[in-house]
Amino acid sequence: MSKYFGLLICLSLVMGALFQIGVLLYVDFNSILIVFGGAFGYSLIQNKKEDYIANFGKGAIFFGWLGMLIGLIALTGGRYDNWGDIDKMGAALQVLMLPVFYGYMVKLITMPFNNQK
């Protein structure tokens, strides 16, 4: 029971910060798609039904970092002509960091439901 209470405390702190800053800054569909899709695929690759939730959390972190690398390459590659333009780079950096944030949030949420001892 204490692990669920701990999760509630952690999520309350994060959600409090998000609402203070502005929730809409933390919404990006493509970032959500790469993290959740990657986590699902990673958990299927592991092929362990008893550890599905733990593998989903691990996959979310893994694909969160991959999503960040994809965003960093897009930012620095000059494809969108945003390098050096502060207004465009700020938005690009925001989207670049969101997959990592989503990945760690998914991992945090899956931790109490983990079957591993």
Range of the domain at 78: 24-113
Alpha-carbon gap, residue 117 to 115, rounded angstroms:
6
Sign for the pseudo-dihedral over CA of 6, 37, 59, 98: negative
Q: What is the pLDDT of residues 37-79, one digit of tens each?
A: 999 999 999 988 888 999 999 999 999 999 999 888 888 876 6
55 within a domain of the structure (yes/no): yes
Note the residue count of the chain: 117
91 within a domain of the structure (yes/no): yes
16 within a domain of the structure (yes/no): no
Q: How many domains does the chain have?
A: 1
The rounded Cα 34 to chain-centroid distance in angstroms is: 9
Q: What is the pLDDT of residues 7-23, one digit of tens each?
A: 999 999 999 999 999 98
3 within a domain of the structure (yes/no): no
The rounded Cα 23 to chain-centroid distance in angstroms is: 15
33 within a domain of the structure (yes/no): yes
pTM given for the model: 0.87
Decide if pLDDT at 116 tops 60. no
39 within a domain of the structure (yes/no): yes
19 within a domain of the structure (yes/no): no
Cβ atoms of 11 and 110 closer than 8 Å: no
Cβ atoms of 18 and 46 closer than 8 Å: no
Q: What is the pLDDT of residues 22-42, one digit of tens each?
A: 988 899 999 999 999 999 999
9 within a domain of the structure (yes/no): no
Return the structure tokens found at 54: 């733990």
Decide if pLDDT at 117 tops 60. no
